Amino acid sequence: MAVSRLPAAALSLKQFLQRQKVLGVYRDLLRSIRKIPIESDRRYLRDWAREEFKRNKSETDQDVIRMMITQAHNHLEDLRRSLALAGC
């Protein structure tokens, strides 16, 4: 009988790829937030993004995670459009 060398908490390939998507959209969101010219708005959005991702970090349902990734992409695109209109 072969014993797996992976730790019990190892992610499956699907979970690993999904985690990379989440981290990627989080980084992109924070990079876009850095472009906001008003410090108080920048701080508010950065705190909002951090809290949203922290609040949902224990989610395990793949469909729910996929939906949240889509919502995060939509928020990111809205932010990028707003920044483009503002000339930032």
Give the model confidence (pLDDT) of 34-86 as tens digits.
Answer: 999 999 999 999 999 999 999 998 988 999 999 999 999 999 999 999 999 98
- Is 2's pLDDT higher than 70? no
pLDDT band at 4 (very low <50, low <70, confident <90, very high): low
Does some domain include residue 9? no
Does some domain include residue 1? no
pTM of the model: 0.79
3-state secondary structure of 87: coil
CA-closest candidate to residue 60, choices 24, 12, 25: 12
- In the chain, how many domains are there? 1
Does some domain include residue 57? yes
pLDDT band at 26 (very low <50, low <70, confident <90, very high): very high
| Domain range for 20 | 16-86
8 A C-beta contact, residue 37 and residue 88: yes
